[in-house]
Amino acid sequence: MKDLFDRYDFHGHRLANRIVMAPMTRSRAADDGTPRPMMVEYYAQRSEAGLIVSEGTNISAQAQGFLYTPGIFTEAHIEAWRRVTAAVHAQGSTFFLQLWHVGRIGHPDNMEAGLHPVAPSALAHPRTIVTRSGPQPTVVPRAMNLDEVKQAIAQYATAARNAIRAGCDGVEIHAANGYLPSQFLHSSSNLRADRYGGGIADRIRFLVEVAQACAAAIGAHRVGVRITPFSAFNGATSPDDEAGLYDQLLAALEDLELGYLHAVTAEVSGNVTLAEAERQKVADVLGFVRPRWRRTLIAAGNFDLERARATIRDGRADLVAFGRDFISNPDLVIRLRHGYPLARRDPAEWYGAGAEGYTDYPRWGVTPSAGAAAQLESAE
């Protein structure tokens, strides 16, 4: 019988277990997007995971929406990521870099001077973004012209090449959570009249071409795609036919023979688990995706040990990703394996600051140093 702690091999990637560290923005890069040395320690501490997917990493200056998020488009970025991948590989884990373009979910104050957020269409999604002068409402993005669409696709491919130069085992295209590829997918954010908008076949074209370009650049088996079907986070909705959209998307992506698909359950909206009553009503994402995706499938979204094991055993996914629990439990794999209690989640530490709440969570059985952020508790 298949188990969470079994080895898993796919396309030459040899994972020590079926546990994935989910991509998580922690906003600890330098101002210019260069990963700081503490990021080396952070990822190395968590490298008992069979596979680590990095935090969202900007493919270009135009792609950036949030402060202190890392990039993969300068030589300094590549050099710094190389230290991360070397440390993770030394611990025996596999590392995919998540490629991120926020599209309209950004703010000019968080971008290089003169840049303005771009998107498929000039439609804002109302929310606030933290800037150096505090939270500010999003702005109306500028609609990308055809040249800019082509350029963005090419930038994904360059970023994928850069990731491989930095020692990554592959890249994950962030097509989840309402960022740029998702903005192209959905009818509520894409009103284009050219070949990248309109019917489903046209709205999926951007993501399919991005995946093709990355596959051509580094090999299809090194490319994964992350999606959040049936989640309205960041305004990612297709009220006309969301099932039809993902049906056609998965068929098109399957043809590309990619490394994996990473699907997030609809129990989670961004980084928040829905309330119990809401969770009862959401679509069964894995039930939808699995019959349409026979290749490697990663499931994420509100998993605990029991559900993760059942998911693997029943073949509803091949790998299970854990997000929030990996923040406060660097040794999550050991704790799950031995049934040790998990450390408390502390959302106040999630984004942007120093090493506190980042690299100072103790391993099981190690006495927390003075001022350490995590208090061991019996399970939440």
Contact positions vs ligand FMN (CB under 6 A): 22-25, 55-56, 98, 174, 176-177, 226, 264, 268, 271, 300-303, 322-324, 350
CB 221 within 8 A of CB 168: no
Q: What is the DSSP string of 163-230?
A: HHHTT-SEEEEE--TTSHHHHHH-TTT----STTSSSHHHHTHHHHHHHHHHHHHH-GGGEEEEE-TT
Question: Which residue, 69 or 192, is less far from ligand FMN as judged by CB?
Answer: 69
Question: Which residue, 280 or 367, is less far from ligand FMN as judged by CB?
Answer: 280
Block residue for tokens 């930038």: 155
Name the helix (H) or strand (E) containing 152. Answer: helix 146-165
Distances (CA, A) of 93 to 26, 89, 96, 303: 20, 5, 10, 21
> Annotated catalytic, 351?
no
Shortest spacing between CB 147 and ligand FMN, in angstroms? 28
Question: Which residue, 192 or 324, is less far from ligand FMN as judged by CB?
Answer: 324
Shortest spacing between CB 329 and ligand FMN, in angstroms? 11
DSSP state of 376: B
Question: Which residue, 100 or 293, is less far from ligand FMN as judged by CB?
Answer: 100
| Of 345, 356, 336, nearest in space to 380 by CA | 345
Terminal Cα-to-Cα distance of the chain (whole angstroms): 29
Provide CB contacts within 8 A for 85, sequence distance 6+. 95, 166, 167, 168, 169
Shortest spacing between CB 143 and ligand FMN, in angstroms? 25
Provide CB contacts within 8 A for 37, sequence distance 6+. 83
Point out the residue whose Cβ comes nearest to ligand FMN.
323
Question: Which residue, 142 or 307, is less far from ligand FMN as judged by CB?
Answer: 307
Shortest spacing between CB 301 and ligand FMN, in angstroms? 5
Shortest spacing between CB 199 and ligand FMN, in angstroms? 27
Say which of 68, 179, 196, 246 is annotated catalytic: 179
Residue 4 corresponds to which amino acid? L
Shortest spacing between CB 117 and ligand FMN, in angstroms? 17
Question: Which residue, 247 or 304, is less far from ligand FMN as judged by CB?
Answer: 304
Tokens found for residue 48: 């008992």
Active site residues: 179
